[in-house]
Structure 1
Amino acid sequence: MTSEQSATTGHLPLKDDRVTPPLRGGERETLRAFLDFHRGTLAMKCAGLTDEELRRHSMPPSTLTLLGLVRHMAEVERTWFRQVINAEDVPLVWSPEGDRQVAYDASGATRSEAFAAWEAEVAHARRIEAAAPSLDVTGHFARWGEDVSLRLVMLHLIHEYARHNGHADFLREGIDGTVGF
């Protein structure tokens, strides 16, 4: 999409297949689009890499990997949308005991299992968000002991993805030199 096209469509111009956030959309449409944009960015950072490359550590002593980030974001999606907003009694994907750090350990993980779990959680999250009558819907976040709105959840996930997509940039650059938005 060119800059000229973006003026016509009212969306950010991108040169890839990610969702393009609207330039003048409503609150919910904009939050949804930015969340999907960041989901697409994480997938893009992992595209074309082998399981071994996806498990490659950034730099010692860090054990952070692209596959670990994908697994972590599956847990984040599951926690905030299914456990908090939808009040589902489901354990974490990789730790029935609730240890959120387990997802980062991708030493035995594969692209297929990590992406299958992440994509399933994203699909659940999209259904839950779409079914909510408004952004003011609330759920209880037990770790904080507080009720939170769907609006906060969506903003939190945008923040979480944006932060980790910065990590993904560095990880991908270290693997094959690929950089970019």
Structure 2
Amino acid sequence: MTTERKDPPLSADERTMLESWLEYHRQTLAWKCQGLTDEQLRTASVEPSELSLMGLVRHMSDVERHWFRRVLVGDDSGPIYWGEQDPDGDFHVTGDDTWAEAYATWQAEIDIARRNAAGLGLDHLSKGRDKSTGEPFSLRWIYIHMIEEYARHNGHADLIRERIDGTTGE
């Protein structure tokens, strides 16, 4: 698998800009994982942390599901990798976990996210509500939050990748 990152446009309407930046960050995470073995993708950043590239991809699968399925459209699908018994289960990878499964699950959630957002305006309000205020989220807010979420975790991914094989990049 070779990941091609497409730079966001320098000038575009708001929706195009938001979607382009989100896609850029999705591609960046895939790029950080490119060319590594399952064992390397399961490698934790540094003790005592369990943070790994595969764990980040699993986490982002659950994040995509949460915001674009559960919150945006009110789909009651549960979490993929975590639960009450293991609230950080997305980050707890084992020797049985594979990149093929993690990547396929992540891409499936991204596809559903794209479909759920398609045709909705940026001011569309979510079915799900903020737990503290009871207010719905706009699609615009969800896009911005997802860009922030990916950007933060791509910084983690950059450091983890550098530790694994010395590869660095933007």
Q: TM-score when scaled to structure 2?
A: 0.92
Alpha-carbon distance, 1:89 to partner: 1.0
Q: How big is each residue's C-alpha offset from its partner over 1:81-133, in whole Å with a ceiling of 9 and x where there is no partner?
A: 0001111010011235495411111123210111111000000011111131x
Residue from 76, 80, 86 that aligns with 2:67: 80
Are the aligned partners of 2:83 and 2:89 in contact in 1 as well (CA < 8 Å)? no
Alignment of 1:47-58 (within 5 A): 47-58=34-45
Q: Distance in 2 between matches of 1:96 and 1:57?
A: 21
Q: Distance in 1 between matches of 2:146 and 2:73?
A: 16
Q: Is the helix fraction higher in 1 or 2?
A: 1
Q: TM-score when scaled to structure 1?
A: 0.86
Are the aligned partners of 2:125 and 2:138 in contact in 1 as well (CA < 8 Å)? yes
Aligned to 1:104, the other structure's residue is in SS state: coil
RMSD across aligned positions (CA): 1.6
Matching residue of 2:30? 43
Question: Is 2:156 the counterpart of 1:167?
Answer: yes
Q: Distance in 2 between matches of 1:104 and 1:141?
A: 26
Question: Is 2:49 the counterpart of 1:66?
Answer: no
* Displaced runs of 4 or more, over 2 A: 95-100, 141-146
Q: How big is each residue's C-alpha offset from its partner over 1:44-71, in whole Å with a ceiling of 9 and x where there is no partner?
A: 0000000000000111111100000000
Q: Distance in 1 between matches of 2:91 and 2:24?
A: 22
Alignment of 1:27-42 (within 5 A): 27-42=14-29
Percent of residue pairs bearing the same amino acid type: 48
| Residues 154, 100 of structure 1: alpha-carbon distance in 2 compared, 3 angstrom cutoff | farther
Residue from 94, 104, 108 that aligns with 1:116: 104
Matching residue of 2:137? 148
